[in-house]
């Protein structure tokens, strides 16, 4: 039987890296993708294919999918783990940064999905795994833009699941709680850079001080 092929984004770190390794250890042919290809050398040493991918760049997305389908014929499993949190007050975070966050957390996911659907449909088989978050269900102040991307990913995935079910393609939404990865470091750094010195830092917010450390 043909080995199933998986593409895992965000594989240079955290959840994506662990997922790529786990799929490899379970016998899948795995392509790990991220911008920092050097951070996937450990995966390459295990026999995982490491590919450069910026999910905000159309050419990069197309080249990544093309090179896998050229080598393997199809992508059977897509795990969308690339993502980040750009925290800060809604007033302070620029719209450019908010859009960039949507580009990574929603539109990059969506574009990859558009490109893998035709092959999955032809095989009447596919698994699309979107890493959302508990932040797609609940919210905290200063995470407004991040929550907006994850709430959007939830609605998008739920709708997509119903569209693709008759074609034999499963859409799976994962909603992790807090996991110790670089995610928290990046979110806290963004929060410090945008709102740590402003008017918001002088106020107290219910439910925030005990969860968020950065302000
Ligand atoms: N950690 C948590 O507590 C937690 C909880 C719930 C949900 N999540 C979600 O889980 C997912 C993975 O997060 P993590 O915790 O594993 O964080 P992480 O360790 O910081 O990993 C994030 C990954 O996203 C990739 N990425 C960021 N921007 C990218 C871009 N433009 N193009 C391609 N790849 C990009 C990074 O790779 P490069 O920088 O090398 O491109 C990195 O591999 C995210 O969607 C996050 O929102 C995390």
| Structural element, H or E, at residue 117 | helix 108-123
The domains of the chain are located at 5-202
- Residue 206 has a pLDDT of 59
Q: Which two tokens stand for residue 32?
A: 């790990």
Confidence tier at 148 by pLDDT (50, 70, 90): very high
> How many residues are present in the chain?
215
Residues 17, 19: Cα–Cα separation, whole Å: 5
Question: Residue 186 above 90 pLDDT?
Answer: yes
Catalytic (active-site) positions: 146
Q: What's phi and psi for 143, nearest 5 deg? A: -115, 15
Give 9 Cα–ligand 1 centroid separation in angstroms: 9
Ligand 1 atom nearest the C-alpha of 178 is 3
User: Tens digits of per-residue pLDDT, 39-59?
Assistant: 999 999 999 999 999 999 999
Ligand 1 atom nearest the C-alpha of 84 is 47
Give 85 Cα–ligand 1 centroid separation in angstroms: 8
Confidence tier at 200 by pLDDT (50, 70, 90): confident
Closest residue by CA, ligand 1 atom 23: 10
Q: Which two tokens stand for residue 210?
A: 């005990």
Interval 71-94 mean pLDDT: 96
One CATH from 3.30.420.40, 3.40.50.720, 3.40.1000.10, 3.30.565.10 for 5-202: 3.40.50.720
Give 210 Cα–ligand 1 centroid separation in angstroms: 24
Residues 175, 101: Cα–Cα separation, whole Å: 18
In this prediction the pTM is: 0.95
């Amino acid at each position: 039987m043909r080995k199933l092929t998986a593409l895992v984004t965000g594989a240079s770190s955290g959840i994506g890296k662990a997922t790529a390794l786990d799929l490899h250890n379970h016998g899948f042919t795995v392509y790990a993708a991220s911008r920092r290809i050097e951070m996937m050398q450990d995966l390459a040493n295990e026999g995982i294919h490491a590919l450069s991918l910026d999910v905000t760049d159309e050419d990069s997305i197309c080249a990544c999918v093309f090179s896998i389908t050229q080598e393997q014929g199809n992508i059977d499993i897509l795990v969308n783990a690339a993502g980040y949190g750009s925290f800060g007050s809604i007033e302070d975070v620029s719209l450019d940064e908010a859009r960039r966050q949507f580009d990574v957390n929603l539109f990059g996911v969506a574009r990859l999905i558009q490109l893998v659907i035709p092959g999955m449909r032809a095989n009447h088989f596919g698994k699309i795994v979107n890493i959302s978050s508990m932040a797609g269900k609940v919210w905290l102040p200063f995470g407004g833009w991040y929550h907006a991307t994850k709430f959007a990913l939830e609605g998008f995935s739920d709708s997509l699941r119903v569209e693709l079910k008759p074609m034999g393609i499963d859409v799976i939404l994962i909603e992790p709680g807090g996991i110790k990865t670089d995610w928290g470091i990046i979110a806290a750094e963004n929060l410090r850079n945008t709102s740590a010195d402003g008017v918001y830092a002088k106020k107290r917010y219910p439910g925030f001080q005990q969860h968020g450390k950065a302000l």
